[in-house]
Structure 1
Amino acid sequence: MKRRTFIRNATFGLPLLSLFPADLSGIKREKPDHQIEKRSLGKTGEMLSIIGFGGIVVMNATPQQAASRVKEAISYGVNYFDVAPTYGDAEIKLGPALKPYRKNVFLACKTQERTREGAKRELEQSLKNMQTDYFDLYQHHAVTSLKDVETIFATGGAMEAFLEAKEEGKIKYMGFSAHSVEAALALMEGFDFDTILFPVSYNTWYAGNFGAQVLEKAKEKGMGILALKAMAKGPWPEGTKNKIPKCWYEPLSEPKDALRGLRFTLSHPATSAIPPGNENLFSMALKISNQITPMEDSEILNIKKKALKEEPLFTFPQKA
């Protein structure tokens, strides 16, 4: 593992790239009868549903509500579940609800701890909360700054805890989620992770110059690409009072708009997209999942024109 050179060698000056026309040739795809499409996850050999279940969907739910929401997802063929300690009581609610299906799902968890001891402690607590002996995927969560990246890879950093946990059989694959191009590229330069969880939405892609650089690098490394914010419209307009619960950004809340966002994201070489944590929006995503197909050239042109008129949720370089 490289410890000193990852920041110096990270290529932040990559030109804006377009992976359109959609190139899904490197991804294996399966469409079971009456089930959601599944795609291969990088080099892992795993096949995941193109819609993932974000743990926030069960945050603040009753045990009965959590069980019902998980059951609905399973009925559509969702087999990818992602949770984190920062999602309120989501781990405590999701663990029991998911327990009957644990052997047949791919369970991912994350930590925002950046040191070895902190990450080790949080991993053990998450395993306990989720009532499981291992995670299929464990991720450095919400990495944004290069300082975070340096701490993760330093002596005594969280990366050491990840490697120890893998040797102990507590995690199968290692990955990260990031909310900046700079951090994502530095992480990929520093270690050969199995997966990346990253925002991929049409307005940040075109209006924010954000995402193409990262996906190109991840694809080059053969990583599994998991997508956030496919159903993000942008920041909430200033003064908005009636915000949708569990959405810190304004989501694409109409089915036709949500479908367009999901189709854009999944026209790229991404395995799965995680909808917003609002349970109603997640349920809507499930209902339209059978309509998700790669975009045609004319649709791509139209969505680019639309995106350039909107305010992106993220930008590269980051705004001061």
Structure 2
Amino acid sequence: MNGSRRGFVATSVGGGLAGLAATVAEAKPKEQQVDRRVLGRTGAEVSIYGLGLGSAFFKPFAGKPEEAHRMLERALDYGINYWDTARSYEGSEALIGPVLEKRRSEVFMVSKSNAKSYDDFMKELDASLKNLRTDHLDLYHMHNWQPKQGDTSPKAREGACKAALKAREQGMIKAFGVTGHSGPDILMECIKAYDPDALLSIFPANRPDNGRYEDELLPLARERNIGVIAMKTVKHVKNSDEPPRELVRYALSLPGICVAIVGTGDIDHLESNARMATNFKPLKGNELRNFSDKVAMGIPAGLPQPWDLPGYSDGIPA
């Protein structure tokens, strides 16, 4: 066989193998993508299941960044683009940074600051941007409003609010929000005073505070087209007998909830939640009320909220 013939055969075989590989790649089924909703006035389409990247994330992956990155990449395979962290979640931002840097356009990145003054808020925002290896955040929250910590009115963080508005104007953040789990009153005051783009608060199935989070706070946010994110859907009612996925499903069934964030620390957990959030089937009408009643009955009366217990850390958004 002459050289040209050998070259032809090699080329033909190589081309055939390449074509076969391409066909196999095309035939490989893609992961089903989780459902998405528009996050209020931000206009962003976000996955209804959001990654809570607090201590449920950074503690299991301490010293194992490759495993953490593998889970984050897996989340993107499912189209899970809502990623939630905070300055107070030690090491979380830095752990996320390498993956975010590579796949920035696929992620709606959220972080939070506890700062109250203008300067401190800007410093924390700069630190978040540096750790996350990005030039902007899609949403940055004024974090964890608690009257017992001196946040007795929106004026307690007036400087931070001015900084958030300035950062949004400059493009360092696309939107700003407020978060809290210590009663709906202060959050409703914040909405009226600051008109944030987003709100992160608790919507567990046992309807704490006589249902006022659902019946008063949520309608106010919807009226103003504020994007609402649910947290503590599992942690608040972990003593009930209901499966965690169903507890998350309850929150996502409430009209006006755009996303439910869940503390996620392993791929199996992630995939289970992704299945629930794909082709999502909400509870409707009496199903919501019946499920809530069942959850409330399964929790001992007078059980304190997790965040009222000594040593509580707000590192797990679930």
TM-score w.r.t. structure 1 length?
Answer: 0.75
Q: Does 1:299 align with 2:301?
A: no
CA distance in 1, matches of 2:106, 2:138: 11
Q: Does the 8 A contact of 1:58 with 1:69 survive in 2? A: no
CA distance in 2, matches of 1:200, 1:273: 9
Deviation per residue, 1:43-95 (Å, 9 max, x gap): 22111000011222531422101111101111111011111111111011011
Partner of 2:154: helix, strand, or coil?
helix
Shift of 1:103: 1.3
- Deviation track 1:294-319 (CA, whole Å, cap 9, x = no partner) reads 1133422421321332257659xx9x
Distance in 2 (CA, whole Å) between partners of 1:172 and 1:75 is: 24
Q: 1:193 to 1:203 in 2, by over 3 A?
A: same
Q: Is 2:216 aligned against 1:218?
A: no
2:259 aligns with 272
Shift of 1:169: 1.5
- Superposed, 1:71-86 pairs within 5 Å as 71-86=73-88
* Offset at residue 109 of structure 1 (A): 1.0
2:58 corresponding residue in structure 1? 59
- Cα RMSD over matched residues? 2.7
Match of 1:159 in 2: 161
The aligned amino acid for 2:32 is H
- Counterpart secondary structure, 2:34: coil
Match in the other structure for 2:202: 199
Pairs aligned (count):
266
Between Structure 1 and Structure 2, whose CA radius of gyration is higher? 2
Out of 181, 185, 206, the residue aligned to residue 182 of structure 1 is 185
The CA deviation at 1:208 is 5.8
SS at match of 1:290: coil
Are residues 42 and 105 of structure 1, via their aligned partners in 2, closer, same or farther at CA, if it must alter by over 3 Å? same
Cα distance in 2 between the residues matched to 1:313 and 1:291: 35
Which position in structure 2 is the counterpart of 1:45? 43
Distance 1:189 1:110, change over 3 A: same
Which of 136, 150, 153 aligns to 2:155? It is 150
Letter of the 2:52 partner, please give it: G
Structure 2 CA distance, aligned partners of 1:184 and 1:72? Answer: 34
Code of the residue aligned with 2:281 in structure 1: it is T
The answer for the alignment partner of 2:244 in structure 1 is 258
Unaligned regions of 5+ residues in structure 1, if any?
Answer: 1-31, 235-249
Q: Is the 8 A contact 1:37 1:50 kept in 2?
A: yes
Partner AA of 2:68 in structure 1: A
1:116–1:161 CA contact under 8 A, matched in 2: yes
The DSSP-based 3-state class of the residue aligned with 1:177 is: strand
- Does 2:108 match 1:109? no
Query: 1:175, CA displacement in angstroms?
Result: 0.8
- Specify whether residues 54 and 112 from structure 1 end up closer, same or farther in structure 2 by C-alpha distance, changes over 3 A only: same
Q: CA deviation at 1:142?
A: 0.8
Gaps of 5+ in 2: 1-29, 309-318
**Which residue among 273, 294, 308 is the counterpart of 1:285?**
273
